[in-house]
Structure 1
Amino acid sequence: MSQSIRGILVLLVLAGLGSLGRVGKCAEHRVNYDYFKYHTMAEITGWMEQLEKEHQGVVTIVPYGQTYENRSITLLKISVGSEKKKAIWMDCGIHSREWISPAFCQYFVKQILDTYQTDEKMKQMLSNMDFYITPVLNMDGYVYTWQNITNRLWRKSRSPGNCGDSCMGTDLNRNFDANWGTVGVSRNCCSEVYNGAKELSETEAQAVTSFVLGKRNEIMCFLTIHSYGQLILLPYGHPNVSAPNIDELMSVGVAAAEAIKNVHGMSYTVGTSPNVLYPNSGSSRDWARLIGIPYTFTFELRDKGEHGFKLPEDQIQPTCEEAYEGARSIITYVHDKTFNIPNAASTLIATIWMVLLTLCLTSAPLL
């Protein structure tokens, strides 16, 4: 073998080893991203970008608005195939101090991507539906809560109020055009439930409204994730307004709470906000139901007040595991009803009746 050929082979081997090194680093990134710790906004953004690279054709980053501080509000679209499909909406982090909420959205995305090729039900649902998932909606507020311990419990957006710098921000979940300004709000911009100068005064609320309205005929289910309280809240927050399908929503919510309890034994209470928490108006959940999305729910994750908004990191995993089963229960119900797919219980009952009928026919005496 000539020296030149030997040299070329060495270069090829080294290039191959370099590629393996790059693959190894990519795999290392996947393994090392810790879903059971809290992450900064920069880390979450990097995670989103990495997922898009690793799952080309399935995960797409979609910008759909700007925050007051000019950050790009983005969601992850999870989709298999190019055809137009029905969809599920999920947002997290509308209240910046509720760190467990973005942690759950990240875990939820991970579970879909880890299972859709092997879990027959998830594969079926992704063949019929897309997922639109916003890991952090109130990005400005979330960044602010990470700056120092003094800011940790900041709830609102970071737009200026009219009460000075110490009273900035609007409660984004009081700013939607749903019985706006009627109950459970404050007109004092220093209040944590200040609902803004007018409905949709906040760019974050405008972004959600514009995107969801553009897909209102596709989105079947609207899930917004909060903490704390261990609740599954139904529309509406106003005590004098009821959703037309409230009985069905209650039934679906109770089934989700049971799915949650089956994981780690945690009890979640189901009901409208006035009945199990407090009246409020201007929430994204209520707005989504008012524009015709039939299934809208708010999850209030762990705990019931022992740690509150400062849920320890050792509770992230069990919280996400149980909430995933609750969300999956709702999404499965919505999917199966929309596409006329019998659920497991009804399929089992039908099978039993068919077996019994066959036995009766085969054992009947000849006349």
Structure 2
Amino acid sequence: MLKLFAAVLLLAGVALAVDNYDGYKIYDITARNAFEKQFLLRLSGNEAYDFFDLPRSLDAASRVMVKPEDQEGFEHLLEKYNVNYLVINENFGESLRKEQEENQSQRLMNLRSAGRSVSFKAFHRHAEINAYLDELAAAYPSRVSVQVAGKSYENRDIKTITITNGDGKTGKNVIFLDAGIHAREWIAHAGALYVIHQLAENFAVNSDLLKNFDWVILPVVNPDGYEYSHTTTRMWRKTRKPISSACYGTDANRNFDFHWGEVGASSYSCSDTFKGETAFSEPETQLIRDLLLSLTGRGKFYLTLHSYGNYLLYPWGWTSALPSSWRDNDEVAQAGADAIKSATGTKYTVGSSTNVLYAAAGGSDDYAFGVANFPVSITMELPAGGTGFNPSTSQIEGFVSETWVGIKAMAQKVAEKY
């Protein structure tokens, strides 16, 4: 019955799919000096341009998506200031259609198999992810439990899974992991599912990670936005609660009540970085707030998965100043970066959010650290796939297994310290 329900959802997703990206181009822009970097920073304030990545360092290209009617003016502006650019995708819509077909094929193959509701060869829908959590709770009742932590604005169940070693001890320290605050970052959801898979289904290999810690994992923070990114607008980032007749959604990672709205967030409700009408205006951020506060004292490591950019970031996001205990966070993050570099050669940049990437107040990591008193709080930005937010299905397994190497190393470092 579950497989049939998932198949109906799958076919419904195809019928609803809307292509909004025909003729959209994606550019890589390389700044050669501080002036050009500042020029790009100013351009990123224009809502017409979707900057996927705007790194601080001069040796890293910025990536931006521009719709057809804005391309001539955009290119003219870059040429006027003699800024180098490269078109890396001439028609993003065409790329997305091919990727959707491949993902569809892989999901159907998984539905026909006798295995779990999810695999790591496809990006799965919210219902399939929730079904997988329930399957694990049924398969490993002594070690795994699933709770409906709350409802999204559109009344979807937001589930957490708690994984223990089954020894029955209560009050253990906790590692809390979430993913999918931003809807379009599908590889983050897959990364969280892989952590769940490793801890629950490969318990014998990973039992040391559960000896003194329970893990609480929320793999889809923003299910409304996530579903919308599957059915309607692939690059949708925000939640889906309407703000006005024209604008929907809030950037959930600008909505937490810690230096809310001070920097790096927009007051314009149509903006991708809209901070919300008030702090904690969204049921999804209220839910994370309540979970984090319920773990105060026991919660030792908060990890939130995003994409993209190969970063391990720690507080603060609202200021370039560092907290007094920044070295503890840096040590844990560096352990993850070192493990990944050793295993695969992939380089992660480590540092505070503001100093490494950009200032943005109202994030979940700052709130976990500054209010819920998690001593270690890290945002992990997974690698880019495709043109950034759209890895191919063939890239999923490599990315999530690499991510697990870093997460495991960070968890081991936290266990040493706490």
TM-score when normalising by structure 2: 0.70
Matches within 5 A, 1:1-367: 29-30=114-115, 33-79=118-164, 80-84=166-170, 85-117=172-204, 119=205, 122-148=206-232, 151-162=233-244, 164-165=245-246, 167-291=247-371, 292-303=373-384, 307-338=387-418
C-alpha distance after superposition, 1:154-206 (max 9, x if no partner): 000001113x23x2000000001121000100000000000001111111110
Q: Secondary structure at the match of 2:377?
A: strand
TM-aligned CA deviation for residue 275 of structure 1:
1.5
Q: Secondary structure at the match of 2:361?
A: coil
TM-aligned CA deviation for residue 45 of structure 1:
1.6
C-alpha distance after superposition, 1:30-63 (max 9, x if no partner): 3684223111112112211111111112111111
In the alignment, structure 1 segments of 5+ residues that lack a partner are 1-27, 339-367
Q: What letter is aligned with 1:116? A: F
Q: What letter is aligned with 1:247? A: R
Aligned-pair Cα RMSD in Å: 1.7
Stretch of structure 1 that moved more, 291-300 or 49-58: 49-58
Higher helix fraction: Structure 1 or Structure 2? 1
Give the Cα separation in 2 of the matches to 1:59 and 1:209.
Answer: 23
TM-aligned CA deviation for residue 242 of structure 1:
2.0
Q: What letter is aligned with 2:168? A: S
Name the CA shift for 1:86/1:32 in 2 (closer, same or farther; >3 Å): closer
Give the Cα separation in 2 of the matches to 1:152 and 1:202.
Answer: 21
Give the Cα separation in 2 of the matches to 1:31 and 1:72.
Answer: 20
Give the Cα separation in 2 of the matches to 1:55 and 1:35.
Answer: 20
Give the Cα separation in 2 of the matches to 1:288 and 1:108.
Answer: 20
TM-aligned CA deviation for residue 265 of structure 1:
1.3
Q: What letter is aligned with 2:177? A: M
Q: How many residues align?
A: 304
Larger Cα-atom Rg: 1
C-alpha distance after superposition, 1:17-38 (max 9, x if no partner): xxxxxxxxxxx63368422311
Q: What letter is aligned with 2:187? A: I
TM-aligned CA deviation for residue 240 of structure 1:
4.3
Give the Cα separation in 2 of the matches to 1:95 and 1:63.
Answer: 20
Aligned residues of 1:264 and 1:318 also touching (Cα < 8 A): no
TM-aligned CA deviation for residue 78 of structure 1:
0.5
Aligned residues of 1:181 and 1:282 also touching (Cα < 8 A): yes
Q: Secondary structure at the match of 1:179?
A: coil
C-alpha distance after superposition, 1:121-154 (max 9, x if no partner): x323313111101111101101111113xx1100
Name the CA shift for 1:54/1:265 in 2 (closer, same or farther; >3 Å): same
In the alignment, structure 2 segments of 5+ residues that lack a partner are 1-112
TM-aligned CA deviation for residue 213 of structure 1:
0.5
Runs ≥4 residues deviating over 6 A: none
Give the Cα separation in 1 of the matches to 2:348 and 2:368.
Answer: 22
Q: Secondary structure at the match of 2:231?
A: coil
Report the equivalent of 2:76: none
Give the Cα separation in 2 of the matches to 1:216 and 1:180.
Answer: 21
Give the Cα separation in 1 of the matches to 2:323 and 2:279.
Answer: 21
Give the Cα separation in 2 of the matches to 1:301 and 1:125.
Answer: 22
TM-score when normalising by structure 1: 0.80
